Amino acid sequence: MNQKSNEAMTLKVIAHIRTAFPTKFGIPRQSGLVDSLRGEIIFTPEYRSADAVRGLEDFSHIWLVWQFSGAVRDTWSPTVRPPRLGGNTRMGVFATRSPFRPNPLGLSSVKLEGIEMRPEVGPVLLVRGADLMDGTPIYDIKPYIPYADCHPDAAAGFTAQTQFHHVEVVCPEEVWAQVPAAERDGLRGVLENDPRPSYQHDPQRVYGMEFAGLEVHFTVDGAQLTVQDITLL
């Protein structure tokens, strides 16, 4: 048996996801943290078959295997610096979910809201809680199986000290009115999770984030995030 034949493989992009995030900034650091974020998974032409998703509607959640399309590199490092540890502590790359890895693959569990059949693109998966940038290529989709995939007693490693980090969002009503009603819960959830890099603490700094066709500017002082303005892009 030729062992070398199994050392590399070519992955096919089966779908892309549409989300409110045109850039990486602001994307929740894990899937499921902001349940109100909505996304649509649209299959590539080869996989636009209703048969391919037959039975998937019976599952409430699915796994997505995807590419960190904004972090593809020719080299890799055995250690990385997780942002939630302040950007100074190094951990082994395989002990983190850093995008900078030998194979830039991500894994996310998202809620499956439904499946729509659209004449122009075939089946479209409607999901919630995704932590992916708009247009991210997806390599595989699998059903989430509670009895096998859920481990309530699992140890969380260094993430146990970073999993809960929320801020109070303050925004003038006239500014918040610029946000379409369908996007308000999602945007508020993103802001409550403090989208800043965790090593930045300047209360005077104004951050800019693109979200669903909007430009959102805000500052953070302690545990309070204040929205300065929201404009259409």
What band does 92 get if pLDDT is binned at 50, 70 and 90? very high
User: Which class is 9-158 in CATH?
Assistant: mainly beta
Per-residue pLDDT averaged across 115-140, rounded?
97
Per-residue pLDDT averaged across 35-49, rounded?
97
Cβ atoms within 10 Å of 73's Cβ, excluding its own: 12
- In Å, how far from its chain's centre is CA 56? 21
Residue type, 128: R
How do 91-92 and 79-80 pair as beta strands?
Answer: antiparallel
Domain(s) labelled CATH 3.30.2310.20 in the chain stretch across: 165-232
Closest by CA position to 56, among listed 43, 73, 68: 43
How much is the pLDDT for 83? 78
Q: Cβ(143)–Cβ(59) under 8 Å?
A: yes
- pLDDT above 90: residue 169: yes
CATH architecture of 165-232: 2-Layer Sandwich (3.30)
Percentage, residues of the chain above pLDDT 90: 79
Per-residue pLDDT averaged across 59-86, rounded?
87
Domain(s) labelled CATH 2.40.30.70 in the chain stretch across: 9-158
